Structure 1
């Protein structure tokens, strides 16, 4: 007896960004407001990071509130409603609950139910991870409109006395609507991970494990070397090994960026806009030198007054460039995310 053949949905030639929206934390926090606990200065932060202010949300504003605001902005710009959305992807590392996912809550809030919805935990590369998945879903015919959101309320995870990362961080959400296209508007993604370097950026909830590894096993929490530090930990906060992260990004990401351009069938001379994860202005400047773009390439520098918003940083930088007229519809952009995991992802996209 002949077995029946499975039927696939009709594939489409490509996908594209239909819109990019954003929402930043309501409060503008200057360097002078945060330098006391870290015994630093406005000048030191500007020189080290390029940040003059960062956006942080009201205490009562939730990560869901940020995500919904950015989603509604993107939907309005795309000329569709939540009811038109087939899939909701939310990249975040600051949604406290493991379940239910933030994506399901956002889908309900925007009227996208019963669209499938799930979260992505890929830190600062999460938005690019989401774009890669949205592109595949649309091209496979599984979805027509996919909403991709990168959102973080980093201020919920800040230790004001930490000099490694906390002074960098801001709050916000960026969202994109991905839909079908007769010509590809999203190129293949170059992505990967290196879990062996997980200790480079981490939450303090895992801090004890890292310190035990440093001191040697077994080390109970009440060991004198650890007791005082453990007693000061009241909730998960972020930490990073700054020099390690800087060296990894500078030594690894230029090659990933070039691979993404090659995967798109283009050369660096074809790239109009460069939108890296807004980690640190010094990192952006070093990447520019090492990748060797055209002299007139437009560069996303949203970090200067928004801060590092992790998964939200690339769509927020994109939204600003388009809103302020620095980049334009049809421009060819290279976006690249990198962060805790360690994880990375890069793809070339045509701006909406």
Structure 2
């Protein structure tokens, strides 16, 4: 049984097609300037027909396993965090495991929407710490572009597609802390996806309620996550929140008094990719060359459900 767990590798997949605000503004009722002022987003990626939740997840997972200096046979468990697969059953994770080459691995899907990665990271850590798996691939992958349309500018401007993955492995120290998580099912309809009468599947969101909830309640979750790891916010090297929109990121960061240069902001060119947003931001941070192994990262996932989970981990 391992004493601890750690993140050993990070990988990502960003769809080929880049969609600018000017392109969106030409088809909806808001301007390109309105989009960037309200959301902080200048562009985002939309997946093509051949870029599916599973294919994006597989590509990100392959990159993470390579970054961890492992081979597919080393992987015992694959967790796919997603809420946007068109096929309800079977789960997509077994396809990801097979595509990765980890054919004998256990595999399951996890749907905690925007908080999926942080929920999954706690579960992956527990599997390793208890000896149920040597190495776990956790991947967040979502394809939201088919679920948005110009008739709903608030969602049309924000949501996008992509996948990000990490490999969790054993360690002789605590590299991934305990999660602080929760939910509020009384507000389940604040952010949801439903099939409309015309047959179209659409994501809807009450932005003002989401903003008040996230900015009002998530700072306490962040403090609690640090406390569970035995540190304070002053000890944190990097803050990687869910990339909901820049106004939420900025407001929470200011409430926590996290310096701007420690806040990872990937939303400007990526958009809100739900369960993929945190690992995509982590991958961008890792690729920036600004990090050092062992640095403390505070992850904070929140969104539809309403669900949230925060935890502290060490940089690989």
What is the TM-score of this pair, normalised by structure 2? 0.97
Match of 2:164 in 1: 174
Counterpart of 1:126 in 2: which secondary structure?
helix
Corresponding position: 1:34 with 2:24: yes
* Matched residue SS, 2:25: coil
**What TM-score does the superposition give when structure 1 sets the normalisation length?**
0.88
In structure 1, C-alpha distance between the alignment counterparts of 2:90 and 2:292, rounded to whole Å: 38
Residues 277 and 336 in structure 1, CA contact (< 8 A), matched pair in contact too: yes
Residue 265 of structure 1 is matched in structure 2 by: 230
Shift of the alpha carbon at 1:12?
1.4
After the TM superposition, list the runs of 4 or more consecutive aligned residues in structure 1 that deviate by more than 3 angstroms. none
Q: Which residue in 1 is equivalent to 2:124? A: 134
Which blocks of at least 5 consecutive residues in structure 1 are unaligned?
Answer: 1-10, 208-229
Shift of 1:65: 1.1
* 1:296 CA drift (Å): 6.3
| Contact in 2 for aligned 1:88/1:118 (Cα 8 Å) | yes
Tell whether the 8 Å contact from 1:25 to 1:170 is kept in structure 2 after alignment. Answer: no
Structure-1 residue corresponding to 2:8: 18
Question: Which residue number in structure 1 is paired with residue 183 of structure 2?
Answer: 193
Deviation at 1:166, TM superposition (A): 2.2
| Residue 309 of structure 1: aligned partner | 273
Q: Give the corresponding residue for 2:306.
A: 342
Instruction: For 1:328 and 1:50, locate their aligned partners in 2 and report how far apart those are by CA, in whole Å.
Output: 28
C-alpha contact 1:185 1:349 (8 A) present in aligned 2: yes
- Please identify the structure whose Cα radius of gyration is greater: 1
SS at match of 1:259: helix
1:297 to partner: Cα distance: 4.8
Deviation at 1:82, TM superposition (A): 1.6
Specify the alignment match of 2:256 in structure 1.
291
Q: CA RMSD of the aligned region, Å?
A: 1.2
Aligned position for 1:54 = 44
**Structure 2 counterpart of 1:224:** none
Summarize the alignment of residues 213-228 of structure 1 with structure 2, pairs less than 5 Å apart.
Answer: none
Q: How far did 1:68 drift?
A: 0.7
Are the equivalent residues in 2 in contact too, given 1:90–1:148 (CA < 8 A)? Answer: yes
Instruction: State the aligned residue count.
Output: 316
Instruction: State the Cα distance separating 1:35 from its structure 2 match.
Output: 1.3
Separation in 1, partners of 2:271, 2:36: 11
